[in-house]
Structure 1
Amino acid sequence: MEQGQQGRFAGRSVIVTGGSRGIGKGCVEVFASEGGLVSILDIAQEEGEQLAESLTASSTGTVVYRKCDVSDPEELKNAIEAVAQQFERIDCIVNNAGVHPPATPIDEQKLADLESLLRINFISTYLGAQYAIPHLRKTKGTIVNMSSMTAVLGQDQSSAYAATKGAQLSLTKSLAVELGPQGIRVNAILPSNVDTPLMRDWAATLPDPESALKRVSELQVFGRMASPQEVGKVALFLATDDSSFVTGQGIEVEGGASLDY
């Protein structure tokens, strides 16, 4: 069977951190549907194992799960090395793992919480790239960092979160300059509102969840949120030769939410 029939990522290896749920899961599903060798690095073991088993059985790709706390540098490095050993290559890392804390005014932000957020959202992205680069040099691979529209627009009472997302975007641009001569492309995705379990968990904490979700949906010109798979398709584009002349960019996948401000 020719590669085109197997899929656009057939025979190539991709790591998705935080791939058990939400946007990460959408990325895993898209890469698996295109024949990829997909490695989920996540702390959510049950969900990750179930997803890997299901997609390996139902798609043209192969999906494996590795338990990994991305905030632990040693765990992250060991997991990336294990992927490289298993598949004998790494063609892309999608640094997706992250958290969004509750709305917190800056004068109530605790230093310990800020440091934890930086470790999960930004340092894991930095180290994920660092640990994957020796393998990406061999494949002329790609790095995709999952940032956020808050990196460029800000967000009320979420200064710490927005700052970590801005750091991801700045890292993307700097690494693109540094790694371009070595054949490695680096890009970021900046989603707006995506219909994920975390989004629905947030809405469930409010007095009228359905009204809250409707309000968030109407921020986009399409009157709806993105699906995780729609974001995953952008990640696939950035990981393939379809985007061979694209690097250092923050691709705003925001359904027009920033327009007509």
Structure 2
Amino acid sequence: MGRLDGKVAIVTGAGQGIGRASALALAAEGARVVVSDIADAAGEAVVAEIGRAGGDAIYHCADVGLSGDVQALVEAAVAHYGRLDVYVNNAGIAVPGSAVDISEDDWTRVINVNLSGMWRGIKFAIPQMVKSGGGSIINMASVQALMGFEDWAGYAAAKGGVLALTQQVAVEYGARGIRVNAIAPGTIMTPMNEKIFEEADDPEELASTWNSWHALGRFGQPNEVAQLVVFLASDESSFITGTIIKVDGGLSIKGC
């Protein structure tokens, strides 16, 4: 028996990184998973990986920046599996730039995907979760919502909004059986960060610097975040809502 037997979960941005690890971990615990991404090949590969492990998953392409796509994603999940219990709001983009230097187009784009995209997931998931008797929404925020990093104004603003939205929706829909929580990862070795290392002049020096930022002396791996996703999706967290949980190896508590 898995911890999530009988539950149906949607994971956005599930083709790689934390989203992929979360989809695999949810399926391993018995959830039926709708893998969503805008990269079809990556998303379908995750579905195949879940299938090889004996799990049940389907792929649905959806851009969280478009309301019609998110609505269709939720409808596809319910049409295929008959219910919706877990929605992992993971899809996001990294757009650098200070408050002065970021262009208005980039600002609008990062807010639309990283904040409004999560609102869209919430908007369309909640009515279906209410029909299913309740559910768990898990929003992927960032420690950048809690502390400053140079040249990430739009990203930080979006992730800060995610924290406020998480608490607001938890209050509004708790009585309907909907739990809403946020995860704030620190430095996780995702493809997004792997690209930074590939482009660095001295990857070893950069790795040493990043490691030194953390109380644990290293950055994290996607599966270390995915394990918290499973917990928040499960009935083990039945009295937890409106929380922001850091998974950052002590990044946010360590001084220089």
Question: Paired residue for 2:138, among 132, 140, 144?
Answer: 144
Judge conservation of contact 1:99–1:120 (CA < 8 Å) in 2: yes
Q: Which residue of 2 aligns with 1:57?
A: 52
- How big is each residue's C-alpha offset from its partner over 1:222-258, in whole Å with a ceiling of 9 and x where there is no partner? 2222111110110111111111111100001111112
Question: Which 4+ residue blocks in structure 1 deviate beyond 6 angstroms?
Answer: none
Aligned length: 254
Which of 129, 138, 144 is the matching residue for 2:122?
129
Give me the TM-score of the superposition, normalised by structure 2: 0.96
Q: Deviations over 1:27-78 (max 9, x none)?
A: 011101111101111001111111101211214x212111111111111111
State the 1:114 CA deviation.
0.7
Q: CA deviation at 1:218?
A: 2.5
Q: Contact 1:193/1:217 (CA < 8 Å) preserved in 2?
A: no
Specify the alignment match of 1:14 in structure 2.
9
Q: Is the 8 A contact 2:214 2:254 kept in 1?
A: no
Give a deviation string over 1:162-212, Cα, whole Å, max 9, x none: 000000000000001001111110000000010111111012222112221
Residue equivalent to 1:168: 162
- Superposed, 1:34-113 pairs within 5 Å as 34-59=29-54, 61-102=55-96, 104-113=97-106
What SS does structure 1 have at the residue aligned with 2:189?
coil
State the TM-score, normalizing by the size of structure 1. Answer: 0.94
Cα RMSD of the aligned pairs, angstroms, is: 1.1
Question: Do 2:65 and 2:112's aligned partners in 1 also have CA atoms closer than 8 Å?
Answer: yes
CA contact (8 A) 1:29 1:229 kept: no
Contact 2:215 2:254 survives alignment (8 Å): no
Are the counterparts in 2 of residues 29 and 55 from structure 1 also a CA contact under 8 Å? yes
Mapped to 1, the partners of 2:232 and 2:250 lie a distance apart of 20
AA in 2 matched with 1:43 = I
SS at match of 1:76: helix
Is the deviation greater in 201-210 or in 75-84? 201-210
Secondary structure in 2 aligned to 1:26? Answer: helix
The one-letter code of the counterpart of 1:232 is A
CA distance in 2, matches of 1:34, 1:260: 34
